A and B are shown apart, each in its own frame.
Chain A
Amino acid sequence: MNIFHFMLQNRAEILELTGEHLWLVGVSILIAVIIGIPLGILITRWPALNKPILGSANIVQTIPSLALFGFLLPVPWIGDRAGRLAILALTLYALLPLIRNTYIGIKGVDPAILEAGRGMGMTARQLLWQVELPLSAGVIIAGVRVATVICVGLATIAAAIGAGGLGEYIFRGLAMVNNQVILAGAIPAAAMALVADVCLGWLEKRLTPH
């Protein structure tokens, strides 16, 4: 039986696991965007927070994912449910690219534009929403793109703690020493990463000012 046959036969389960996978990644990215973009903005305004915030996000990135899942297990409420735990871990991984790109994007806005805007009497809030964020949107989306691709890959490991997702097939296949089962998880995960990469790459290009 070839791999396509196998996937076709198990399409219901693969679809369900793909849905779980999407859910884990989608919720994590959403939370990371909600937290990461404001943090990125914050450190452009408060340079003293720059090192501690970027530094912490950086350290998280260096923790091996299995270890991070393990560390979070004893955390109350979070540790109760594998899904919550996986989402928290993925969110933490997604934060660095989001914070960093928001910071770089805003810092990259031409100072002459800000000088003109401030000089003509725009408030800090108007400058942020009408000038700084639109002009750095491309760079920020590039951060979302990197974070998403990282999370699609890392989410496969969430299966190790029972959070579901396409990793289930990969771990099952590893246990059974069956490549076909591994591929049935890996192929949809890779496709998901590719689609996210292409779509967000397109968006990034559209939002980058010429």
Chain B
Amino acid sequence: MNRYSGEPFAIEFRKVSYRLKNGRELLRDLDLEILPGETLVMLGRSGSGKTTTLRLINRLLEASEGEVLVEGKSVSNWDVIGLRRSIGYVIQDIGLFPHFTVERNIGLIPKIEGWPPARITSRIRELLELVGLDPEVAARYPRELSGGQRQRVGVARALAADPPILLMDEPFGALDPITRSELQRAFLALQQRLRKTVVFVTHDLREALLLGSRIALIDSGHLVAIHEPEQFTSSADPLVSSYVGAFEGVGPRAV
């Protein structure tokens, strides 16, 4: 239970380890509590175990030890399809279906869930507006969009069935700096409106400071520290300060 409100945490890791079949340990004794409505940024260098952590939440992977809870219930007690449908998932490679138009991509889960067509259509229009896309792109195929537009469609698709939780795995990593900062601003505006529980993975400290309500630094499968952005940059932890030191001249989010 959450000590602030008595409600369950949105997501909770209890002593979670994850090992590959060959015995190699990718995550060790991870304890992490994520509050409803917060944006928790998981920060860490490539190969530190960020993606592995995310995939444990929607059960694309299963913990070797310990327990992952979503809305207070162990993921192994969830119906796996139901679990995933209540968690939006956005990945760096986006993974839009190339043979579906934008609207079919976005409307896929609502359609599978049996929503009436009129409701799907209006939901698609609403989502396009929400992620800042011209309704005109609805009929296009993913290959006819720019990288930034594609990633916006990826976010719209993840939000389609209005899941309370959103997992975002380096969603803006492949974009040019200008487009990336546009999408970061769009994300902040969107999160202001929606207040989803977001777990946002990045290796970019600037992005973490800009978007996170809290930042968790992960290194070689260990959770090193978890701080609010203001405290993060001044942390005395040697791993944190060396990560911060690698980004010279970066400060906390300007208010």
Given contacts A121-B82, A131-B97, 12 further A-B contacts (CB under 8 A): A116-B91, A119-B87, A119-B89, A119-B167, A120-B84, A120-B85, A121-B84, A121-B85, A122-B108, A122-B109, A122-B112, A135-B99
* Contact call A120/B157, Cβ cutoff below 8 A: yes
A112 contacts the other chain (CB 8 A): yes
Q: Mark A109-150, 1 if CB is under 8 A from B, else 0.
A: 010111111111111001000110011000000000000000
Q: Mark B92-123, 1 if CB is under 8 A from A, else 0.
A: 01111111000000001100100000000000
8 closest cross-chain pairs (CB), A and B: A116-B95, A121-B84, A112-B93, A119-B89, A121-B85, A112-B95, A113-B95, A121-B81
CB distance from B78 to the nearest CB of A (A): 11
Which residues does chain A contribute within 8 Å of B255, judged by CB atoms?
Answer: none
Complex-state Cα separation, A135 to B154, whole angstroms = 19
Q: Are A113 and B97 also in contact (CB < 8 A) when A120-B109, A120-B158 are?
A: yes
Q: Mark A4-20, 1 if CB is under 8 A from B, else 0.
A: 00000000000000000
* Contact call B91/A210, Cβ cutoff below 8 A: no
- Residue of chain B at shortest CB distance from A131: B97
CB distance from A110 to the nearest CB of B (A): 7
Sample (21) of A-B pairs whose CB atoms are under 8 Å apart: A110-B93, A113-B98, A115-B60, A115-B95, A116-B91, A116-B94, A118-B84, A119-B60, A119-B87, A119-B89, A119-B91, A119-B167, A120-B84, A120-B85, A120-B108, A120-B109, A121-B81, A130-B97, A130-B108, A135-B99, A209-B98
Q: Are A209 and B109 also in contact (CB < 8 A) when A112-B94, A121-B84 are?
A: no
B143 contacts the other chain (CB 8 A): yes
- How many interface residues does chain B have, given as a range? 20 to 34
Contact of B89 among A116, A131, A210 (CB under 8 A): A116
Which residues does chain B contribute within 8 Å of A115, judged by CB atoms?
Answer: 60, 91, 93, 95
Q: Are A121 and B109 also in contact (CB < 8 A) when A113-B97, A131-B97, A210-B143 are?
A: yes
B58 contacts the other chain (CB 8 A): yes
CB distance from B250 to the nearest CB of A (A): 30
Complex-state Cα separation, A117 to B88, whole angstroms = 11
Q: Are A117 and B60 also in contact (CB < 8 A) when A112-B91, A123-B81, A126-B112 are?
A: no
Which of chain A's residues 67-126 have a Cβ closer than 8 Å to chain B?
Answer: 110, 112-123, 126
- Residue of chain A at shortest CB distance from B158: A120
Which residues does chain A contribute within 8 Å of B83, judged by CB atoms?
Answer: 121
Which residues does chain B contribute within 8 Å of A110, judged by CB atoms?
Answer: 93, 95
Most buried by B among A116, A122, A135: A116
Complex-state Cα separation, A8 to B82, whole angstroms = 67
Which residues does chain A contribute within 8 Å of B157, judged by CB atoms?
Answer: 120
Complex-state Cα separation, A39 to B109, whole angstroms = 29
Which residues does chain A contribute within 8 Å of B98, judged by CB atoms?
Answer: 113, 135, 209-210
Which residues does chain A contribute within 8 Å of B93, judged by CB atoms?
Answer: 110, 112, 115
Q: Are A120 and B88 also in contact (CB < 8 A) when A112-B93, A115-B60, A126-B112 are?
A: yes
Which residues does chain A contribute within 8 Å of B87, judged by CB atoms?
Answer: 119
Which residues does chain B contribute within 8 Å of A135, judged by CB atoms?
Answer: 98-99
CB distance from B120 to the nearest CB of A (A): 15
- Residue of chain B at shortest CB distance from A207: B99
Complex-state Cα separation, A114 to B98, whole angstroms = 12
Complex-state Cα separation, A120 to B157, whole angstroms = 9
Which residues does chain B contribute within 8 Å of A130, judged by CB atoms?
Answer: 97, 108
Complex-state Cα separation, A182 to B154, whole angstroms = 61
Which residues does chain B contribute within 8 Å of A209, judged by CB atoms?
Answer: 98-99
Which of chain A's residues 24-78 have a Cβ closer than 8 Å to chain B?
Answer: none
CB distance from A147 to the nearest CB of B (A): 24
